[in-house]
Chain A
Amino acid sequence: MNLGLATTYIIGGLMLLSILAYNYSLFNSTVETTSSVITQSKLDNIVSILQNDLNRIGYDRGNSDAFVMAEDSAFIFRGNIFDNDGSDDFDLVEWAVTSELDTTTTNPNDIVLIRTWNQTPSIPANEIEFRYSVRDFEVNYYDIDGNVSAQLDDIVQVEVEVLVESNEPYLTKKDGTELYYRSYWKRRIVANNLIY
């Protein structure tokens, strides 16, 4: 075979391999970046609503107790979520994570976090349900001194931990392990309306 032709094939082959490897690497990087931005946005959506809710715990509740139920995976509270929303009295809000797997995503770790909001608690049919997919959701409750609170009346601080993963894996390893981008938020909020 012509030496020049063989050399051309070798160099051309190396170039082609290099371009393919580079293309694969760019593709993975793009998928990872897109996954991470979508995951952060997903977490941000949950956190925005959660923070608004937590700061409204007990607001405009009259003589009623602020908390109806407080567990590590769920809580129900009274509070006026939005001012001037046409509802005179408090709303009833529940945040609860279920063990139900979220089938709307391909991530097998995703479970369903449900926010149930009722502006008119006397009419249960008016409940509005929002569903989010999360990896983990935990709630802890503390009294004014920072001790873990067992009594609903003593709760002043609420600590919430939310962990979300990307809906799709950003990388699948050779052994089949799928890697998901994770984003995390944990904050202890002092509910203003419970201090005084």
Chain B
Amino acid sequence: MNDYSDVLYLTAAMVIYSFLTINTSRSFLSTSETVIRSDVEYRTIIRAQDVIEQVKLVQRADENMLNPNHIDYMFAGYPVTDRETYGYNDEYTDTFIIDASSEYIDEGDPLVRRYKITVNVINEEVDPSTEVDLIFIKSFER
């Protein structure tokens, strides 16, 4: 009888030990995933910022580039998929789905025209995918 109780004690100890190791491993895996995701999010935000940088370049004479109803609308072809290679030998690749739109903000001010630019970038390199939304207000003085 004593032998059987030893076996039971050992089994219980192994089960507890297994639970502990599994939970600790899960915790470490979660930490690693967080670190990787933060790197991916970092790059996703940069892509959204890049689009806004291009909006900053729009001059007053080219205001139509932000008018969704105009032929010169700069986001007419969006969303676009962009693959970016990087690394010392371009050994890595990131795929971004970039969407952007512009909306006129009617403030009734005859001196200033403002547009709300919304940029949405999705990076599907990680599961679940990383998504970033940035909003930028572009103003033109009349």
Contacts and interface: CB of A to CB of B under 8 A. Distances in A.
Interface stretch (B65-73, B82-90, B134-142): B82-90
Given A11-B10, A190-B57, A33 B28 contact: yes
**What size tier do the contact residues of chain A reach?**
20 to 34
Contact of A40 (B24, B35, B57, B84): B35
Contact of B53 (A33, A36, A37, A157): A157
Contacts of A26: 24-25, 28
Interface stretch (B39-47, B101-109, B119-127): B39-47
**What size tier do the contact residues of chain B reach?**
20 to 34
B50 interface: yes
A90 to B, nearest CB: 22
Nearest to A21: B21
Interface string A155-196: 011000101000000000000000000111111111010010
A190 B42 contact: no
Contact of A182 (B35, B43, B53, B87): B87
A184 B87 contact: yes
A190 B53 contact: yes
A192 B36 CA distance: 32
Interface majority SS (helix, strand, loop, mixed), chain A: mixed
Interface of B: 3, 10, 14, 17, 21, 24-25, 28, 31-32, 35-36, 38-39, 42-43, 46, 49-50, 53-54, 56-57, 84, 86-88, 92
Interface of A: 4, 11, 15, 22, 25-26, 29-30, 32-33, 36-37, 40, 109, 135-136, 144, 146, 156-157, 161, 163, 182-190, 192, 195
Chain A to chain B: the 6 pairs with minimum beta-carbon distance, closest first: A29-B28, A190-B53, A36-B35, A187-B46, A136-B88, A190-B56
